[in-house]
Chains A and B, each alone.
Chain A
């Protein structure tokens, strides 16, 4: 305990000062309990991932069960990942990447419009942009498929069963995340920065590019990351919009496990877990996870 601690100091008038209440925990037991509870909660939440990674290293026979902890360590099942998994993984990465980029391209102007405009039906537009999050994904999938067929009947252009068809469905659910996170940053945006740039002779586009965009980038990164994750993990929409040659990784796993169990599923899932961790670390290096959180990413 240092001399500056309230309990150790005495006021100049000689009276013992009232101990000032510091934020946080005052009782070690409460502090330990709190951190212990948090740690256990995280361990509990992360334990399925540990089981998947651990079980993927078990060298079992052809038909087997999830074996954890592994009895015989081996990378055997990593060599048995079927081509269909690799193809599906490639498709899912491409799809999620494209969906997140397009979600940013659509979502940033949408967020700017929603936050800064004074149109009377702003609330309605805001609800429309949030709607994809409130509609069950399975309904979205069926609705998109029906719309594609209807559109095809009318125009002769059928996008169902194509990459573009899948992308549109994933974009639909990705946009609200970008609108939400960018909108949250814009709410706290100091518009005097833009006014300064404009008064110094910068045009609107230059101001947006050199001032606005750098400030809202944490929100863009956060929204883009969420859009990527939502797209990459989606099953209900992809079930309806996938087609021969366009089966996403989660759908491939979902149907692959319906009638059989092959531990190569655990191996390919482990690779995805490692990729996701790598992506988070990359985001941490580029923008800092604390910035993502500050941007209202979870809202």
Chain B
């Protein structure tokens, strides 16, 4: 009887230890914390909700309440400015092109507590800073109709200049500079044409030489035009090409264009941060949200559906099992390291827009 009592005490103690060891993921540990997340709407928001909030062990089960403030990073930044420092949201998703503007506004992003972000260890060094973690990135390049190219004897493109072909006149679509992928792709085209962040003219000349049919605002326009045969080549991120391919447009292939001797392909990437004036009482939930976003499963689900590339290296490896993405995307660390990333710091984006409007719309 005595030994049974001892055994019970030991078992109870072990149970308590196990419960405490489970730490922040314990049910109810975020009770009463309500956070708002600034991110895009539609399926982007839904994937996050399903994999970070309402999933088993997610924030909802742990007692937190999460609501979404939907909008593009630019719109959300405008809301933060209009709110004059008040926390419109607690967690914010930011694009690379707007990051420096966000940091300049000293009321926007705060330092992160990486002890609450165990999943951050699965990210590459360049995707982590004192006040941000990467959340995803895209691989921008050329999505093209391989059947049409073969039928008309057009060589497979290896870089943007290859799209200057008499048989491709009026059959190319590229992103408008104001669209989601506009700045990254424009930066890549400029670099490939021999320019740089401060000299965009070579890129503008190259775009004019391509004889583009249309500039897209939404990537879905491009895959629709590819399906209808109105264009044969689309400059976009690999996700749109992947979605089209999975929807039956099996003639679609993707090329990561050669940018220069060191770079192949172009990246656009997203960050996650905590808004500076977010109340300290909800910071644990805010960190838990970011940690959940960086989780392998969330990253994998987001990439499988949207065609973005996960920042979590385990999810990258897992994604290689998706035959379409494995063929279209670059998922090895060496290849990813070679991709060109526009340095937005110091760039006057308004000047880029002005030059684009003057040159491209002529």
Contacts and interface: CB of A to CB of B under 8 A. Distances in A.
A146 B228 CA distance: 45
Given A255-B42, A255-B70, A149 B223 contact: no
Interface stretch (B21-29, B72-80, B205-213): B72-80
B75 to A, nearest CB: 6
Given A146-B84, A243-B69, A247-B70, A258 B42 contact: yes
A257 B82 contact: no
Query: Chain A contact residues (Cβ within 8 angstroms of B): what range?
Result: 20 to 34
Contacts of B70: 242, 247, 251-252, 255
A251 B67 CA distance: 16
B82 A261 contact: no
Interface string A229-259: 0000000000110111101000110111111
Contacts of A239: 71, 75
Contacts, number: 101
B44 A259 contact: yes
B243 interface: yes
Contact of A61 (B42, B227, B247): B247
Q: Is the interface of A mostly helix, strand, loop or mixed?
A: loop
Interface string A255-289: 11111111000000000000000000000000000
Interface residues of B, number: 38
Given A63-B246, A65-B224, A65-B244, A142 B82 contact: yes
B244 A63 contact: yes
A142 B78 contact: yes
A67 B227 contact: yes
B224 A262 contact: no
B42 A149 contact: no
Given A61-B248, A244-B36, A255-B71, A260 B84 contact: no
A257 B223 contact: no
A219 interface: no
Which of B42, B44, B223, B244 is the most central at the interface, judged by chain A CB atoms within 10 Å of its CB? Answer: B42
Interface string A50-76: 000000000011111111000000000
A59 to B, nearest CB: 12
A82 interface: yes
Interface in A175-233: none
A145 B40 contact: no
A248 B80 CA distance: 20
A66 B247 CA distance: 11
Contacts of A262: 42-43
Interface string B219-238: 11001101110000000000
Interface in B21-75: 36, 40-46, 67-72, 75
A285 B220 CA distance: 40
Interface string B241-280: 0011011110000000000000000000000000000000
Contacts of A66: 220, 224
A149 B84 contact: yes
Nearest to A252: B41
A65 B41 contact: no
A26 to B, nearest CB: 44
A243 B72 CA distance: 14
Interface string A144-180: 0110011000000000100000000000000000000
A245 B305 CA distance: 25
Which of A142, A259, A261 is the most central at the interface, judged by chain B CB atoms within 10 Å of its CB? Answer: A259
A262 B220 CA distance: 9
B102 interface: no
B86 interface: yes
Contacts of A240: 75, 78-79, 82
A160 B87 CA distance: 12
Contacts of B43: 256, 259-260, 262
Contacts of B146: none
B79 A145 contact: yes
A257 B218 contact: yes
Interface string A17-36: 00000000000000000000
Given A239-B75, A251-B70, A259 B40 contact: yes
Interface string B131-146: 0000000000000000
20 contacts: A61-B248, A65-B228, A67-B227, A142-B78, A145-B79, A239-B71, A240-B82, A244-B36, A244-B68, A247-B70, A255-B40, A255-B41, A259-B219, A259-B306, A260-B42, A260-B44, A260-B220, A260-B305, A261-B243, A262-B42
Closest CB pairs A-B (n = 7): A255-B41, A256-B42, A244-B67, A261-B220, A63-B243, A65-B224, A260-B43
Interface of A: 60-67, 82, 84, 142, 145-146, 149-150, 160, 239-240, 242-245, 247, 251-252, 254-262
